[in-house]
Structure 1
Amino acid sequence: MQTYLVGGAVRDKLLERPIKDKDWVVVGATPEQMLQQGFVAVGADFPVFLHPKSKEEYALARIEKKVGAGYTGFSCDASSKVTLKEDLLRRDLTINAMAMDQEGQIIDPYQGRQDLDNKILRHVSDAFIEDPLRVLRVARFAARYHYLGFTIAPETLSLMQTIVANGELKALSAERVWQETARAILEDHPEVYFESLRVCGGLTEWFPELDVLWGIPNPPRWHPEVDTGVHIMMVLQQVTRLSKTLSVRYAALVHDLGKGLTPSEKWPSHRGHEKLGVDAIRTLSLRLKVPNDCRDLAVMVSEYHTHVHKAYELKASTILAMLNACDAWRKPERFADFLLACKADARGRTTFEDIPYANADYIWQAYSRAAKVDIKAIVAKGYKGSAIKEQVNQERIRIINELKNSDNK
């Protein structure tokens, strides 16, 4: 019975990155032996145990064989005769197929260390194509390690394209797709995830509303980068500088889906894309089972981001209508997130990357001042029912007008 540290912990140790989780492989043991030593069985599909003290995961070395569709269609052999090399062979990438023994020695039968040095994401074997989830995982690793210069090996990209062409992505569950996507969105270079999926054709199945945006033009005056898909990736780059919140980043990703619905004869204009995007966002979010907070913020950004871009041109009543529609009074934190996504959109354009974007500050000032209206004082004056709301709105419009007038001076 021998125990080895495996996978991501070994990879990140060699890359000198923080190690978040440690996974262990046990060679030469049976489930009964693990239980006798106090380990707690938790694996449903194959023998995985929690260490009685550290609670880290220990899995018996195993061999997997493809017997059905999707990432769950595998049979598992976890007998005590399975070797470490056989266990590492079933893993996705060579940089994830290394192990470390008790003395700190690296076991590297598939040249993972060489690929680390060369900054290559390469599959371990042709069995890579048996698990469609690997398409998303490789794209996510490309996003995570982009800052180090990692790229996907051409032969691995070819296998990813084969998986997509075979329709295997359809076998994935929405939960697993969203899990990988959410993790990728929270990386420092989430745009690389979507660009990698696009290159292998992987956007079409789960993200068709996003996939169609490449090739759709914007007015060059406002979008020197022109292409809407390119713009979206630039916005995603920008939002990483502003927020680490998943809902903000998701909203930035999908805020322009309405442009994919603009009739081509109207290009490069996209009048009305704000409201057109709402149903597209809801459809995509439902397909992926996106959390409600992400979906709701994304809908808000789609519908009202151009209001913020035109903030200084808006009437006080229009600004108030936006504040009311966004429920800024009860959810100020979400409204602040909304403005961050708008700022990312404004900066996600060639030559606009570092603009100060005073529009967001102006709208926040309007909200902050209008939020101070004393509703109790209005009630004390004898107003009742709908008259209370009307008076509150009038007072807030007056305050926003004062801000507009002071700004004009």
Structure 2
Amino acid sequence: MTLPFKTYLVGGAVRDRLLGLPVTDRDYVVVGATPDDLLAAGFKPVGADFPVFLHPQTGEQYALARTERKTARGYHGFAVHFSPDVTLEQDLLRRDLTINAMAEAPDGTIIDPYGGQADLAARRLRHVSPAFAEDPVRILRVARFAARFARMGSTVADDTRALMRQMVAAGEVDALVPERVWQEFERALREPDPQCFITVLRDCGALARLLPELDRLFGVPQPPEPHPEIDTGVHTLMVLQQAARLSADPQVRFAALLHDLGKGTTPPEQWPSHHGHEARSVELVNALCTRLKVPAAYRELAVAVARDHGNAHRALELRAGTLLEIIERTDALRRPQRFAQFLLACEADHRGRLGFEDRPYPQAARLQRAFEAARGVDVAPLVERGFTGEAMRSALRQARTRAIAAAVKADE
């Protein structure tokens, strides 16, 4: 289909192709056209705040070249200008990072007015212009790109780090709404190195504003024997790194990240002990999830891990009845998939310690064996014996406890 106006591939598709990465989504900028021009060519409008259209054949997004001007605090306060006289370079100038401010012409020519290719080669995340400071979401995006490209050696440019700190000091991140924070947070949890998201936010001061429950963990000591890394914040980052190593599931990673929040509220006079931190962690997980409007599935798993990760670590020492209590509290019999997530997050906690990164976690096998034994108990004989109500529940628990005891003994 030949179009009567100029179009350019832009953004992530250009960046990823130059990096040799798979290109999944393609976005285009249209230069020298009006909304009526695109409608006449059969494009379907979908943009609410500015003209975005879907290609009539490919369904890919085409946006009119535009400029943006800051009009109020936060990220909603922008005046958008689009017209046929807006140039490609002006459109690219409003973007966040130089590596995202490149375009590709239909003949394959790369248009790179702000040094994106050089920054790609240097593995540098650098802002395009001072206008970066107008949108606090960009702080979250830079942190997320750091989590995506850390394995390639990418780091945040010094001048961009300084600008991000200035934005935090000016209170820009305080204007972010919970839904937007969670959207970027959840995306970052899916990246290869999500711990880098937390590190970048902490470096610029945004973590203390957005996720203070996590920020206060840094500098809090733990007993050196089980925790050679000592610092609770360092341990938390190591746990998230191990969770990413064990699972691509963002729910597992989220639960692993929040499992020790209660240690941040331990009175200093009790350090390095953190007695009762599990219960405090549950309260803080619930508060954080309420504030950011986190989906229920994330919250429920995070609460289960915060509450019972210590018990899971003691699984080799626990009696059958106590193992059954863990199974019941995690609702494993009704939700076996979440129990598997629970075990992964607990294993990440076990491995997220200096020198423990590759150590086995036999506790997970013990808990899985106990779960399978409990699930295998046949209810029919109890029904035939006439048990109902509370008597049935008691008899079933006894039968499951005996089954777990037999399974555990067989493993020894």
Q: Distance in 2 between matches of 1:275 and 1:315?
A: 22
- Name the aligned partner's letter for residue 177 of structure 1: V
Question: Is 2:327 the partner of 1:326?
Answer: no
Q: Distance in 2 between matches of 1:125 and 1:80?
A: 23
The runs of at least 4 consecutive aligned structure 1 residues that moved more than 6 Å come to none
Question: Is 2:126 the partner of 1:122?
Answer: yes
Cα deviation digits, residues 57-116 of structure 1 (max 9, x gap): 100001111111111211011010000111111111111110000100000101110111
Aligned with residue 164 of structure 2, among 156, 160, 163: 160
- Match in the other structure for 2:47: 43
Q: Distance in 1 between matches of 2:389 and 2:145?
A: 57
- Match in the other structure for 2:91: 87
Question: Is 2:163 the partner of 1:171?
Answer: no
Contact 2:93–2:128, Cα closer than 8 Å, also in 1: yes
Aligned with residue 260 of structure 2, among 256, 259, 262: 256
- Match in the other structure for 1:188: 192
Aligned-residue offset at 1:407: 3.9
- Match in the other structure for 1:14: 18
- Name the aligned partner's letter for residue 340 of structure 2: A
The count of aligned residue pairs is 408
- Name the aligned partner's letter for residue 67 of structure 2: I
Deviates more, 1:351-360 or 1:377-386: 377-386
Aligned with residue 207 of structure 1, among 204, 211, 214: 211
**When the two structures are superposed, what TM-score results if normalisation uses the length of structure 1?**
0.98
Cα deviation digits, residues 313-341 of structure 1 (max 9, x gap): 21221111111111111111111110010
- Name the aligned partner's letter for residue 331 of structure 1: R
Contact 2:366–2:408, Cα closer than 8 Å, also in 1: no
Cα deviation digits, residues 198-254 of structure 1 (max 9, x gap): 000011111000010000011110010010000010011101121111211100010
Q: Distance in 2 between matches of 1:80 and 1:404?
A: 73
Aligned-residue offset at 1:404: 3.4
Contact 2:9–2:26, Cα closer than 8 Å, also in 1: yes
Aligned with residue 145 of structure 1, among 149, 168, 172: 149
Alignment of 1:2-401 (within 5 A): 2-401=6-405
Contact 1:206–1:287, Cα closer than 8 Å, also in 2: no
Contact 1:97–1:124, Cα closer than 8 Å, also in 2: yes
- Name the aligned partner's letter for residue 298 of structure 1: A
Contact 2:201–2:207, Cα closer than 8 Å, also in 1: yes
Cα deviation digits, residues 1-49 of structure 1 (max 9, x gap): 2100001100000001111210100000001111111111111111111
- Secondary structure of 2:108's counterpart equals coil
Q: Distance in 2 between matches of 1:39 and 1:70?
A: 32
Contact 2:253–2:345, Cα closer than 8 Å, also in 1: yes
Q: Distance in 2 between matches of 1:38 and 1:403?
A: 66
Cα deviation digits, residues 248-297 of structure 1 (max 9, x gap): 11000101101112111111111111111111001111111111000000
Aligned-residue offset at 1:372: 0.9
Structure 2 unaligned residues grouped into runs of 5+ = none
- Secondary structure of 1:311's counterpart equals coil
Contact 2:369–2:408, Cα closer than 8 Å, also in 1: no
Q: Distance in 1 between matches of 2:15 and 2:97?
A: 11
Q: Distance in 2 between matches of 1:38 and 1:367?
A: 58
Contact 2:43–2:54, Cα closer than 8 Å, also in 1: yes
- Secondary structure of 2:62's counterpart equals strand
Identity rate, percent: 55
- Name the aligned partner's letter for residue 402 of structure 2: R
Aligned-residue offset at 1:382: 1.4
Q: Distance in 2 between matches of 1:54 and 1:263?
A: 59
Contact 1:206–1:288, Cα closer than 8 Å, also in 2: no
- Name the aligned partner's letter for residue 63 of structure 2: A
Q: Distance in 2 between matches of 1:249 and 1:269?
A: 25
Structure 1 unaligned residues grouped into runs of 5+ = none
Deviates more, 1:96-105 or 1:395-404: 395-404
Contact 1:49–1:57, Cα closer than 8 Å, also in 2: yes
